[in-house]
Amino acid sequence: MEEKIHIDWLSVILYIIIVLFGAMNIYSANSGLDEPLSLDFSKEYGKQVIWISISAIVVFLILLTDYKFFNFSAYGIYVIIIGMLLVLLATGSFNKGAQAWFKIGAFKLQPSEFAKYATALALAKFLGTFDIKFEGKRNQLICFGIILLPMLLTLLQNDTGSALVFTCFILVLFREGLSGWWLVLGFYLITIFVLTILIPSWYILLFLLVVLGAIFYFFRKQKQLVFVSVLIFLASTVYTIGLDFAFSKILKPHQQQRILVTLNQDVDEYYVNKQKGFSFFKFEKKADEKKSESKRDYSYNVRQSKISIGAGRWFGNGFNNGTQTKAKLVPEQHTDFIFCTVGEEWGFVGSTIFLIVYLVFIGRIFFLAERQKNIFSRVFGYCTGSIIFFHFFINIGMAIGVLPVIGIPLPFMSYGGSSLISFSMLLFTFLKLDANRINEISRLY
Amino acid sequence: MEKSNRLYVFLGALVLVGIIFITRLFFLQIIDTSNYYKAQAYGSNEITIYPARGTIVDRYGKLLVYNDASYDLMVVPQKAKDFDKAALCKELMIDTTEFNKRLKKAARYNPREASVIYKNLPFHLYTRLQEVLYQFPAFYIETKIDRRYNINGAAHLLGYMGEVNERELEKDKYYKPGDIKGITGLEKSYETFLRGIKGKKVVLVDKFSKTQGSFAGGKFDSLPTAGENIISSVDLDLQVYGEQLLANKTGSIVAIEPGTGEVLCLINNPNYDPNLLVGQQRNRNFSALLLDPSKPLFNRALKAPYPPGSTFKTVQALIALQEGVLTPATRYPCHGGYHMGSITVGCHPHASPLDLENSIAKSCNAYYCYVYRSVLDNPKYPSVQAAYTQWTKYLNSFGIGVKTGIDLPEESSGIVKKSNYFERVFGKNWRSSNVVSISIGQGEIGLTPLQMANVAAILANRGYYFTPHVIRTIGDKNIVPDDFKKKHYTLIDRRHFDSVIAGMAKVCIPGGTAGRTGITGIEICGKTGTAQNPHGKDHSIFIAFAPRHNPKIAICCIVENGGYGADYAAPIANLLIERYLATDKTAPSSKPEMQKRMLTANLTGAKISASDSLKALANKPK
Ligand SMILES: [Zn+2]
């Protein structure tokens, strides 16, 4: 039977719009002021053109590939990527310093970017395998294993940001039947974790006690609910005090500071406040000067980022006219902080349109994923959407100062070959699968 | 929940994130404008463009003061990190310790703002630095405008420029550290007109302080507005001529146009070249001038009160006439002076008795002892003290004992003692005989040369004066401050001036006290004075105006240790009158011998300065 290609053109058009818009912003952030519009391949915006070209070739190759290839070779690709990560770790330990890339000529290849793709394939393959149901405990463990292995290896390379991205696969598992309570629990634990660090832990306990009291008062009759509440309260108390103890007493000052910095805290101020007020565990050491330097760098980034975006006002300074952008005041502006350029040069109106376009794009991927008739394609689709969504959420949340500083790129926008190519592979592999869903049905039935 | 419905959880999450992000953006970009304004400050570097300072021309449009460019090396201390200090010091030809000292000082003032690190770069350094400065991004050259003076005198009139001090920086936000402003003279008085409005160019700099171009398309740039040009009232020719005549003498000359109050010349000697206080040598020259025992920085014309000597008789006569204790016909005898009890005021030989007119012409001391005592012992007043107080009021109406209000800084009001001063010295019921020396302008009376010139102007105007001022108009709109257009009337009626002026008209013609100094064809009304100087030779003083009718110039000349008024002051003043009234300034003087004598006379052997006699005066009464 003839295989028809019904590629989802809406996704392709949105993809092209975002990639080109990204290139424009990289150009803006990267070129000097009053510089004539030109293509300089020695500069990042010039290189980005090369990356876009390579991505186009990769996309073309994927579209030419038989859709069955991805299902067939999913584990193979996963194993190869894991192997590459291990090799990097090994050479890293040899060279006394973690390295996150392979050097190929002038270009750096970052396997961790491709690890997401490989993990998505492997997860889709496992869940898509005939007879496997996510409900089984053993299968669930395998799923977590598939996710945790590359996550751990990335973490060992000190690439915390990329490692965190792997948590987005939880979303996929949620779609595949993981109880929503797990998400709620995760959210609860993260909230308590953050709060324990930010405010004295006895505040949290006091609050939980009040909630418990309220439950006692209003739901006296429902013995089971009260019982569960007490259990949760006790567990939360242990968790909170444990966290407080671990943070205050077990972690070394530089580790504490790293967490504080990520949470946008002024380290010195934090220590002073912590020593003043009542808390269960006192810090013995004060922040040492050298380490608090790095915190200034982070808070500097976020502050500059907010200033850049704020400078845009309603309509922005216009393309290639952002003064903060041109002054190169935001570090990493062409990579992780590319949204600053959008904010400054396109203003509130432009940024809002951009956000909406991007969210429609992600929504479209989820929509396409849901309409898949086979599990492999559906899981892979949800993986694609979740990865892009997670990046989008963290990256822009960081740029506008509502989320901690976690350095991960904005898919299709940020400068970088590995990032653009891997995300293009991810998207078009899924679009290829989607295009063939008709064939898939005809094959199954 | 049906698993396929979980799609809506995902889509809902997208919408939620969208709403949160857009709300946050709305807050960041629209509501919270602080980021917008911070953006203006960050990444931009404001470069001040100094306006051209207004020029100053003389009353005929001859250039007195103009501008010349100078270059300062500026540094933004905070950005001055990681640069090749040794290389820069080598370019600047200064040693590193000195450089570090300057850098530290700049950082102490404000690490984020530009400060001068090398003032007045020599031209060869300026051109060299332009080539290499790109290696030192925290540094840049700021062009400033230096003053140049087209005359090597008139320094006390024009004033000089200097760096603003910290107090001024706080007071007036116009100035930035390292800015220069007028410190004295016209430069100070008309600073706000002359300085103009600064322009600025805001350039975009990246985090390496490298200029990336114009900030925001030049939206915040502004062009400087040049300062107002000032037309001074000074006659450059007269000023230079006067300085030549006063050369090698200590003293002061002030000439005023009576009909306007415009100062025609303001001369002091010792003087200095105002160009000395410009440019790189300024500080060195300034300390040299400051330490010079002849006090070239001292503005005698405005600050040194001299006993007016016999020139004061004109004022005494006018007050007595107004008080009704004297008439033009009043005669007083003189037998070698004034004798009363233990008091003797000597006089030179002359016919006796004299009437008022001739008492001026012959400058009889005795006559004015009678006149002044009649004023103080006037039965109209309950006491000598009351009469004296009234008398000081007359003086004040002449601008004596008060500041004339000239538009130059640091004017002295001269010396007029209050009645209670004499109570302390001579007891509660002091008598007119106690102060009889004031009759003839000696003792407890002091006038600055400016005040004496102003008295001459009052005489010329027959009873009023305009506040003396050194400008004609300000700027293109030819502004004249209203204060300068107001007539200040003395308490003397116009009719009383005639006989005094008639007497003054006889002074410079044969038979008068300066009978040999007159200028043919000009009816000069003058009055000589000889101020006793306990420390040396008397000061030669002369006040005059001319022509008698419709006067064009009123003048006062003081030559310290010059002897009689007729010896130096009168000839110099009359030569200046001649020059000022001449239609052809190049025409030779009608008194070539007198002119030559004045130009060549050297009195610098006599060391006593005005300030010394001032001190002596202050210590006199015991
Ligand atoms: Zn006499």
Tens-place pLDDT, residues B149-203: 888 888 999 998 888 888 888 788 888 877 888 999 999 999 999 998 888 877 7
Is a pLDDT exceeding 80 seen at residue A249? no
Q: Across the interface, which of A33, A356, A402 has its CB nearest the CB of B213?
A: A33
Q: Please state whether beta strands B337-340 and B343-346 pair in parallel, antiparallel, or not at all (unpaired).
A: antiparallel
Q: Across the interface, which of A331, A362, A369 has its CB nearest the CB of B14?
A: A362
Say yes or no: B204 contacts chain A, CB-CB below 8 A: yes
Helical H segments across A311-374, by residue range: 323-326, 338-370
The span from the CA of B532 to the CA of B613, in Å, is: 10
SS3 label, residue A126: helix
CB B394 within 8 A of CB B490: yes
Report the alpha-carbon angle A40-A43-A49, nearest 5. Answer: 70
Q: Do A310 and B32 touch (CB under 8 A)?
A: yes
SS3 label, residue B531: strand
Q: What is the DSSP string of B311-375?
A: GHHHHHHHHHHHHTS--TT--B--SSEEEETTEEEE-----SSB-HHHHHHHT-HHHHHHHHHHH
Instruction: Kindly tell me the sign of the dihedral angle through the C-alpha atoms of A197, A201, A207, A211.
Output: positive
Which stretch of A294-298, A419-423, B490-494 has the lowest confidence by average pLDDT? A294-298
Residue bearing tokens 């108390």: A237
The structural domains of chain B, ordered by start, are 44-77+90-189+191-227 (3.90.1310.10), 236-600 (3.40.710.10)
Cβ burial B234-260 (10 Å sphere, 16+ → b, else e): bbbbbbbbbbebbbebbbbbbbbbbeb
Q: Quick one: tokens of A251?
A: 């972690």
- The pTM for the full model equals 0.58
Point out which residues pair with B106 in neighbouring strands. Answer: none
- Predicted local confidence at residue B547, as pLDDT: 93
Which stretch of A152-161, A308-317, A435-444 has the lowest confidence by average pLDDT? A435-444
pLDDT band at A355 (very low <50, low <70, confident <90, very high): very high
| First-to-last C-alpha distance (Å) of chain A | 13
SS3 label, residue A31: coil
Low-confidence ranges of chain B (pLDDT < 50): 606-622
B407 or A36, greater pLDDT: B407
SS3 label, residue B157: helix
- Predicted local confidence at residue B377, as pLDDT: 92
Q: Half-sphere exposure of A421 toward its Cβ, with a 13 Å CA cutoff?
A: 23
Smallest CA–CA distance from B37 into chain A, residue: A311
The span from the CA of B10 to the CA of B6, in Å, is: 7
Rounded CA Rg of chain B = 33
SS3 label, residue A174: helix
A131 or A171, greater pLDDT: A171
Q: Do B32 and A356 touch (CB under 8 A)?
A: no
SS3 label, residue A371: coil
CB A270 within 8 A of CB A286: no
Residue bearing tokens 């975002």: A18
CB B424 within 8 A of CB B403: no
Summarize chain B as % helix, strand, coil (round to 5): 40, 20, 40
A1 or B184, greater pLDDT: B184
Q: Half-sphere exposure of B481 toward its Cβ, with a 13 Å CA cutoff?
A: 18
CB B265 within 8 A of CB B158: no
- Predicted local confidence at residue B615, as pLDDT: 40
Query: What are the backbone angles phi and psi of residue A291, rounded to the nearest 5°?
Result: -75, -35
Q: Quick one: tokens of A25?
A: 């912003």
Q: What is the DSSP string of B10-76?
A: HHHHHHHHHHHHHHHHHIIIII-THHHHHHHHTTEEEEEEPPPPPPEE-TTS-EEEEEEEEEEEEE-
Q: Quick one: tokens of B214?
A: 């114009």
The span from the CA of A289 to the CA of A292, in Å, is: 5
Distances (CA, A) of B169 to B118, B172, B196, B405, B496: 20, 6, 17, 27, 52
Distances (CA, A) of B343 to B373, B417, B423: 13, 21, 19
**Test the A interface: residue of B7, B29, B207 with most A CBs within 10 Å:** B29
Q: Which burial class, exposed, middle or buried, applies to B84 when counting CB atoms under 10 A from its CB (0-12, 13-18, 19+)?
A: exposed
The span from the CA of B552 to the CA of A144, in Å, is: 109
Q: Give B21's contacts in chain A (Cβ within 8 Å).
A: 355, 396-397, 400, 402
Is a pLDDT exceeding 70 seen at residue A320? no
Residue bearing tokens 């000529």: A105
- Cis-peptide, bond into residue B353, ω within 30° of zero: yes
Report the alpha-carbon angle A151-B8-A398, nearest 5. Answer: 45
Q: Please state whether beta strands B115-118 and B539-546 pair in parallel, antiparallel, or not at all (unpaired).
A: unpaired
Tens-place pLDDT, residues A162-212: 888 888 888 888 887 777 788 888 888 888 888 887 777 778 888 888 888
Taking residue A205's Cβ as centre, other Cβ atoms within 10 Å add up to 18
SS3 label, residue B83: coil
Q: Give A32's contacts in chain B (Cβ within 8 Å).
A: 212-213
Distance B426 CA to ligand 1 centre (A): 27
Tens-place pLDDT, residues A78-124: 898 888 888 877 776 555 445 556 666 556 677 778 888 889 888 88
Say yes or no: B550 contacts chain A, CB-CB below 8 A: no
Q: Across the interface, which of B1, B21, B216 has its CB nearest the CB of A400?
A: B21
CB B448 within 8 A of CB B412: yes
Is a pLDDT exceeding 80 seen at residue A148? yes
Instruction: Give me the long-range contacts of B179-185 (CB less than 8 A, separation at least 24).
Output: B180/B144, B183/B159, B184/B156, B184/B159, B184/B160, B184/B299, B184/B408, B184/B409, B184/B410, B185/B155, B185/B156, B185/B157, B185/B158, B185/B159, B185/B160, B185/B408, B185/B409
Q: Across the interface, which of A307, A314, A327 has its CB nearest the CB of B206?
A: A327
CB A191 within 8 A of CB A198: no
Closest CA to B573 of B561, B582, B564, B565: B565
Smallest CA–CA distance from A339 into chain B, residue: B25
Say yes or no: B134 contacts chain A, CB-CB below 8 A: no
Cα B356 off chain centre by? 37
Q: Do A309 and B15 touch (CB under 8 A)?
A: no
Q: Do B3 and A177 touch (CB under 8 A)?
A: yes
Helical H segments across B212-297, by residue range: 236-245, 282-291
The span from the CA of A78 to the CA of A376, in Å, is: 15
- Rounded to the nearest integer, the mean pLDDT of chain A is 77
Report the alpha-carbon angle A430-A432-A433, nearest 5. Answer: 65
Closest CA to B468 of B235, B185, B255, B194: B255
SS3 label, residue B446: strand
Distance A274 CA to ligand 1 centre (A): 98
Cβ burial A339-366 (10 Å sphere, 16+ → b, else e): bbbbbbbbbbebbbebbeebbbbbbbbb
Q: Please state whether beta strands A102-104 and A107-109 pair in parallel, antiparallel, or not at all (unpaired).
A: antiparallel
Smallest CA–CA distance from A402 into chain B, residue: B24
Say yes or no: B292 contacts chain A, CB-CB below 8 A: no
Q: Which burial class, exposed, middle or buried, applies to A198 when counting CB atoms under 10 A from its CB (0-12, 13-18, 19+)?
A: middle
Instruction: Kindly tell me the sign of the dihedral angle through the C-alpha atoms of A235, A238, A244, A245.
Output: negative
SS3 label, residue A425: helix
